[in-house]
Structure 1
Amino acid sequence: MTDSSAPFAPSASSAHLEATADAYDAVAVIYDELARDALDAFPLDRAMLAAFAAHVRAAGSGPVAELGCGPGRTTAHLRELGLDVFGVDLSPVMIDLARTSFPDLRFEVGSMDALDLADGALAGVVSWYSLIHLPPAQVPAYLAEFARLLAPGGHLLLGFFEAEGGPVTEFDHKVTTAYRWPIDELAGLARAAGFTEIGRMLREPGDNERFRRGALLMRRG
């Protein structure tokens, strides 16, 4: 059950974070309906999540955070893969939906740059399309925070829109402004934050998708 005293602190006041939260609050119910079976159609996405879970279990397990969990469906999938997982999201409406759909999982409103957790508290971090709305200059600081949260040997999984050979590119995401990343550039930023790459995935857009998708599986230290 949700622990109302869970250790999450509000992020420093930020117009960008507030605007992102407001944008997702406004579409949360529709987003949840559209995302309900999103993983079913994409075996490569499921394979990356499964690989992440297998690496976390092989390293001895421990708590895993999905940061930017939305309505909680990927968090629930990670639980089905055998992980001790909880979710965090900026959007209070998304968190309400997640708690309603998965009352036996822990979900908290918070910002992934302001988790009041000790250094090395987590065995895994999943950022599944949650870095995409950050201004690119802010991404290194978030990756450094993920590294702080992870124990040595902990694992990180990033999901994102891939730039298909171009530079980091802003685009008109249906909810709010987002960015597409060259996979090598994002991998380089993760290495600079102290991560070692284990594997990567690129897949072409599916039906009703506009852009190539990417995923990076990394290990801290």
Structure 2
Amino acid sequence: MTDSTTTFLTDTRAAYDAIAPAFAEAFPDILTDLPLERALLSAFAEQVTAHGPEPVADVGSGPGHVTARLHSLGVPVFGIDISPRMAALAREAHPDLRFHVGSMTALDVPDATLGGLLALYSVIHVPDEHLPTVFAEFRRVLVPGGQLLLSFQMADPAADGTEHLHLSERFGQEIALDYYWRTPQAVAAELTKAGLTLQARVVREPLGREKRPRAFLLARKPE
């Protein structure tokens, strides 16, 4: 593992360990007032369960509420998060589900064993140079025909490449956390390079206090 990989993973893990309780309290269920997101998640669940019995990984599962919603839709699902403290909170909130500590740059999952992979607002912490590695991992663990659903805050379409923000404080905690915002076109291009086939692209305008549009990409591993 390169030094740059170690640094961004270490910083992200430490940041979410520090803010985990406050984050879980502030966002107990981000889907409550988001009907479009719920509809997309339901469509993802329907496609996964129709394809086969293989499990789904919620990568960047945080407090676990999205993992729990997928479970309620009949999906055999488990969560993966880089933060041990966040994974522990998810286990406390949802003791009937499995939550593992792990990194999307090197998933502890055998080849071609997942029917689906969900990554909601988790690739936003991955620097550009590591995105191909992440998407290659996603393709590796999916079965042929397996589904991938991504969501992320969008970059300004007029921006020249990826927009970057570094936060040194959140929820009153001193942290070092980086955010990377991209256009749907840029992310779709990386998915294609990784050997995944784009099926749908949805953009939602900002709601409430949100400042950026949200993008959702549904892709699959070719059979």
Do they superpose with TM above 0.5? yes
Mapped to 2, the partners of 1:113 and 1:169 lie a distance apart of: 21
Match of 2:163 among 169, 173, 191: 169
Counterparts of 1:1-221 in structure 2, within 5 Å, are: 14-165=6-157, 166=159, 167-172=161-166, 174=170, 176-221=177-222
How far does residue 116 in structure 1 lie from its aligned partner after superposition? 2.7
1:12-62 CA distances to partner (integer Å, 9 max, x unpaired)? Answer: 971211110110111111110111131111111112111111110111231
Number of residues of Structure 1 aligned to a counterpart in Structure 2 = 210
Q: Secondary structure at the match of 1:132?
A: helix
Question: Which amino acid in structure 1 is aligned with residue 32 of structure 2?
Answer: D
Mapped to 2, the partners of 1:41 and 1:13 lie a distance apart of: 35
Q: Secondary structure at the match of 1:103?
A: coil
Mapped to 1, the partners of 2:55 and 2:78 lie a distance apart of: 8
Unaligned runs of 5+ residues in structure 2 are none
Please report the RMSD computed on the Cα atoms of aligned residues, expressed in angstroms. 1.6
Q: Is the 8 A contact 1:99 1:105 kept in 2?
A: yes
Mapped to 2, the partners of 1:55 and 1:206 lie a distance apart of: 27
Question: Which amino acid in structure 1 is aligned with residue 165 of structure 2?
Answer: F
Q: Is the 8 A contact 2:107 2:137 kept in 1?
A: no
How far does residue 172 in structure 1 lie from its aligned partner after superposition? 4.4
Q: Secondary structure at the match of 2:32?
A: helix
Mapped to 1, the partners of 2:128 and 2:208 lie a distance apart of: 28
How far does residue 171 in structure 1 lie from its aligned partner after superposition? 2.4
Question: Which amino acid in structure 2 is aligned with residue 99 of structure 1?
Answer: R
1:36-89 CA distances to partner (integer Å, 9 max, x unpaired)? Answer: 131111111112111111110111231100111111111111111110000011
Residues 154 and 171 of structure 1: is their aligned pair in 2 closer, same or farther, counting only changes over 3 Å?
same
Q: Which residue is equivalent to 1:7? A: none
Q: Is the 8 A contact 1:44 1:201 kept in 2?
A: no
Q: Is the 8 A contact 1:205 1:213 kept in 2?
A: yes
Runs of 4+ in 1 over 4 A off after TM superposition: 172-175
Mapped to 2, the partners of 1:185 and 1:61 lie a distance apart of: 32
How far does residue 142 in structure 1 lie from its aligned partner after superposition? 0.5
Mapped to 1, the partners of 2:42 and 2:90 lie a distance apart of: 21
Question: Which amino acid in structure 2 is aligned with residue 169 of structure 1?
Answer: E
Q: Is the 8 A contact 2:56 2:77 kept in 1?
A: yes
Q: Secondary structure at the match of 2:80?
A: strand
